[in-house]
Structure 1
Amino acid sequence: MITGACYDKRDFSEMPGLQTLKKKIAPVLLPTTKYVFEGELLNSLIGRWLLQCLLQKKQVSLQKLHLTSDHQGKPRLSLPLDFSITHSFDLVICLVSDEGPVGVDVEKIRDVPLEEYQSSFTESEWSFLMKAPNTIESFFSLWTKKESLLKMHGLGLQVPLTNVQVLDAVGIITGMTSVYTGVWCPYSIRDYSCNIAVPENASRVQMEVVEF
């Protein structure tokens, strides 16, 4: 089963403080990354709190849990579970899977200088974007597909984005020693684009909206 949790700051008039959040999260799940901006640290903490909530629903003992990083730097649980966290502006989303690797990416839909991103797309993807009725929305849809597929397989931006091909129903990452694939489960959120990458035989993602 693949379960997810989404926290939307727009639904609340007040946000929990950093110290309040830190006290809610088990020490093993606290992020170790240093953040320059308080907003990014807050989103990171919310992401780990969502992870903790999903693990508790699976009756995982946090006392026996360990969090490590693989050779690509992707955080891994000391369990046969995979997880992925993403955040953008007011949205934080976390997924936990016992059906293999997963990846999720969310981006706020906003104006961007498209021409600066042309090198990130294949010729067919760029042609698709230029012909799309809403170019900006299509841009973020393809972008979150690329990012979620990379996250699913624990691959960073050292992979050229033109090697991450996302126009077909099954996405594929080429140019590596192995071929990596995945399919997407779009998650609809007002003013945002979100895609979830899962294995081809995975079940439907069960997403819930949560609050503190």
Structure 2
Amino acid sequence: MINLFYTKIDIDFHTYLWEKHLPTLPYFMRNEIVRYHRWEDQQASLLGKLMIRKGLKMYGFNDECLELIEYNKYGKPYISGKINFNISHSGDYVICAISENIKLGIDIEKITRIDFNHFKSQFLAQEWNGIINSKNQLRQFYKYWTQKEAVIKAAEKGLSISLRSFFIRDCVATLRQEVWYLSDINIDSKEYCCSLAVDRKIRHIDVYLKKVYFNN
């Protein structure tokens, strides 16, 4: 089972979240959050950590579980053991994926009108043709982009991996001899594109998607 929690940032609840939930986090996490200048980034970071804690408690961890989080040399947070988690945020949404014994990565992007031709060099020829020949080129661009980002995050190597270093075909990617399976996650699909990458084939019913709230 893969648990996906998502929530929305909201300026109306920022002070409440700041006063009630920020003090419950470990010092190093509070310090990380307050470094952001924009309230949107502060709240997205805070909500992401609250969702990690919520997810870890489902697997038997206690309220102090965030103290156990470490970071690998690429800056990806992890916790020793069999639990894997990943966070992404864009626009108004923050999403957290968490599971046991399944390596995963998640990426969400708000679909904005951009000249995606500037990113042609980031894609292989077959992928670029898929974008250009699509009925909805902008959405297809974001689909490929979130899929590639999800794979890179799942592979735990950060920016050391080039988007052009692997090819996505039929929602499957092979990166450095590891195979990754991709799924579309439907969150506000008219304005957002979200992709999940995992290291094994999964069924739709194995993914549990839930909106969570921290403002009450």
Q: Give the TM-score of the pair, scaled to structure 2.
A: 0.86
- Taking the TM superposition and a 5 Å limit, the aligned residue runs for 1:4-83 are 4-9=4-9, 14-17=12-15, 18-25=18-25, 30=30, 32=32, 34-63=35-64, 65-83=67-85
Corresponding residue of 1:192: 192
Higher share in helix:
2
> Structure 2 counterpart of 1:20, which letter?
K
User: Are the aligned partners of 1:95 and 1:102 in contact in 2 as well (CA < 8 Å)?
Assistant: yes
Q: Deviations over 1:64-83 (max 9, x none)?
A: 65111122221111332111
Point out where structure 1 has 5 or more consecutive residues left out of the alignment.
Answer: none
Deviation of the 1:29 alpha carbon = 5.7
Q: Distance in 2 between matches of 1:180 and 1:127?
A: 25
The whole-number CA distance in structure 2 between the counterparts of 1:133 and 1:161 is 23
**Which residue matches 1:167?**
169
Q: Aligned partners of 1:30, 1:201: CA distance in 2, in Å? A: 37
Matched residue count: 206
Is residue 48–residue 95 contact of structure 2 (8 Å, CA) maintained in 1? yes
**Aligned CA distance change for structure 1 residues 49 and 186 (closer, same or farther; 3 Å):** same
Question: In angstroms, what is the RMSD of aligned CA positions?
Answer: 2.1
- What does the per-residue CA deviation read over 1:76-95, in whole Å, with 9 as the maximum and x for residues that have no partner? 11332111000001000001
Task: Give 1:155's match in structure 2, choosing from 150, 157, 160.
Answer: 157
The counterpart of 1:120, out of the listed 119, 122, 130, is 122
Taking structure 1 as the reference length, the TM-score comes to 0.88
AA at the equivalent of 1:114: F
Q: CA deviation at 1:180?
A: 2.6
Structure 1: which 4+ aligned runs deviate by more than 6 Å? none
Report the alpha carbon displacement of residue 170 of structure 1 after superposing the two structures with TM: 1.4
Percent identical across equivalent pairs? 24
Can you give the 5+ residue segments of structure 2 that lack an aligned partner in the other structure?
none
